[in-house]
Amino acid sequence: MTQEHASELLHISIRTLSDYENNKYKVPDEIVVAMTEKYNASWLPLMHLKNISPGINLEELCLKELSGSTISFQSSLGHIQDVLRHLIDVVSDEVIDDKEVATVKVIQEKLFDLLISTLNLIVSLQEKSPSRAATHKRA
């Protein structure tokens, strides 16, 4: 797809599209959504999230096969009951004190793992959907 065609689909100038492609400007969320729909690229929001999250390690964000994404999601879900128990213990007094900081860090890591596995599963499901498969067959 040419920049001219893409810019028409997205209702932005070719120069603006070029600036986004060359990382001169942050791509607005609404443009990412439009790109995802117009380019039929369900992985774009993941890459956008990876690019706009400074200070957070999103290296685990990757495109996996459907079975791998499902197993990762199930594994992350398996930890959630323990995480919720610890979370309730920590937040019940509305204060995170010094001795709870390590527990909070573990809770955040487990929640982040669940977020990543959920995003990967969503993208895998979209990639394997009948409408997506039909698009791949035409290409």
Binned average pLDDT, 10 residues per bin, the chain of 139 residues: 90 92 87 85 72 57 73 88 93 94 92 84 76 45
**What was the pLDDT predicted at 12?**
93
**What was the pLDDT predicted at 63?**
59
Read off the amino acid at residue 31: I
Q: How many CB atoms lie within 10 A of CB 79?
A: 15
Indicate whether 47 belongs to any domain: no
Residue reference for tokens 């369900």: 42
Indicate whether 18 belongs to any domain: no
Q: Quick check: pTM over 0.85?
A: no
**What was the pLDDT predicted at 60?**
54
Number of domains in the chain: 1
CA angle 49, 53, 56 (to 5 degrees): 120
Indicate whether 97 belongs to any domain: yes
The closest alpha carbon to 126, from 44, 32, 50, belongs to 44
Taken in order 103, 104, 106, 110, the sign of the CA dihedral is positive
